[in-house]
Amino acid sequence: MKIINEEILKGLLNIFKINSQRIEVYGKLSETIYTPELQQHFKTQADESTLLLNELNSILYQSFENSESPILYEDSTIDQSVFYFGMARASNNPRTVMVSCQFGDEFLMKAYQKILEFLEVKYMPSLNDILTKHLKSIKHQKVNIENLLLSNLTMKYFKIQ
């Protein structure tokens, strides 16, 4: 599948960039948490973003190969997700990392919704399916993280350093 719409390509690059950071941050959380259930929860988030990057990588490669006007990785926009995941990467406080991930995921969902508005299902059903599946997963996991943050017991799950 080759994408020729420049707006969609830039949006996909943005999603690619955000998920690259998301992998690192959720991996960091899974190493910070010592409760096995929560470790698995955050590892799943990182694994899902890795899967998405693998799927997007082949689509982007096909679209950029022999492209008339090359779009560079640097051409993707910097949005709020990049900011919040950047904060999470820089922090050593697990609660700050979780909150930053929560905000990052909120803005990431908006990026997915924006790009899905550009896609016409009949022209790119597999890309639409990939993005829709990941968006649903993020929404589901967001609720789980919110419940953790609202819990008074959250801090007992973190290693004390």
**Lowest mean pLDDT across 86-90, 109-113, 143-147:** 143-147
* pLDDT value of residue 160: 43
The answer to whether residue 119 is domain-embedded is yes
Percent of the chain at pLDDT exceeding 90: 22
Say if 153 falls within a structural domain: yes
Residue 96 lies in a domain: yes
Task: Indicate if the pLDDT at residue 23 is higher than 60.
Answer: yes
Rounded Cα gap, residues 159 and 19, in angstroms = 26
pTM over 0.85: no
Q: pLDDT band for position 12 (50/70/90)?
A: confident
Give per-residue pLDDT as tens, 105-138.
Answer: 999 999 899 888 877 655 677 888 889 999 999 9
Confidence category of residue 46, pLDDT binned at 50, 70, 90: very high
The structural domain count of the chain equals 1
Asked if residue 1 belongs to a domain, the reply is no
Alpha-carbon distances of 91 from 4, 64, 84, 112, 145, rounded to whole Å? 39, 35, 11, 26, 18
- What average pLDDT does the chain have? 79
The per-residue pLDDT for 153 is 52
Q: Above 50 in pLDDT, residue 35?
A: yes
Instruction: Flag whether 135 is in a domain.
Output: yes
Answer with the residue of higher pLDDT: 13 or 119: 13
Confirm whether 122 is domain-assigned: yes
Q: With 90 as the cut, is the pLDDT of residue 24 above it?
A: yes
62 or 133, higher pLDDT: 133
**What range defines the domain where residue 24 resides?**
6-68+76-157
Residue 22 belongs to a domain: yes
pLDDT at 142 over 70: yes
Report the candidate in 147, 132, 130, 112 with the shortest Cα–Cα distance to residue 41: 147
Interval 8-32 mean pLDDT:
88
The answer to whether 42 touches 26, Cβ cutoff 8 Å, is yes
Residue 110: CATH number of its domain: 1.20.1260.10
